[in-house]
Structure 1
Amino acid sequence: MTECAFGTTDPIYKEYHDKEWGQPLHDSRKLFELMALESQHAGLSWLTILKKRPAYREAFYHFDPEKIASMTDEDIDKLMEFPGIVHYRKKLEAIVSQAKGFLEIEKTHGSFSEFLWSYVNHQP
């Protein structure tokens, strides 16, 4: 297998590159996780966020949208002190907002995955 020029210098990046990047994904919850992490990525390297992914999973209930959607301002206050994640309030609030949108899409379209894949005629 030929390796790309990127994604191979750090073991975390290499694992992401080899096992996730470019692979079709149909699991709605995993798609939600990636969307949430992408929102944290703005202004930072993807490797930075990949290294923080375990902390994000812990902080955000392993990306359980229902639990995240019910988070309060007080919960966000606590996350501002949570070790290992980006401490920018708007980014943390974005994940809560995304969870609410995710649940609405699931309610109206059956599944988040189905909704996303419909834009590309269910083809990778």
Structure 2
Amino acid sequence: MTIGAQMATTATGYVERWSKVGEAAQRARSVPANRLAALFIVVLYNAIGFADVASTLHGLSAGAVEANPIVAAAMESLAHYWVAPKLACQLLVTAMIVWFPHRFVLTIFSIAVAATGIAVVNNMLVAASL
């Protein structure tokens, strides 16, 4: 088999797999309970995401230091614009949840919401201890 034929076969495989993912997402969206759960998770996820930004800013103003090295690097290189990439990531996650509200996806993002909520509580406890 030539390299061109192998590339064409590989590309066809990707197209077939992504069409199956699209079909699975469409089936998941057709379940009303999944759409309702996705809406609830998206609202909660974004509210807690904004609370994370606010509590981080509160902690920083109280003298705390950002513990996440990725966020700390963004803060250092982007100054107060570090919020933009964080909110862009939230928007991407929101789109993923709404596009593919499968129960497994909803479970994973529910865990992410809980973890972010724990981070918000931690931010507030750190700020209060300073």
TM-score by length of 2: 0.27
- Higher gyration radius (CA): 2
Bigger fraction of residues in helix:
2
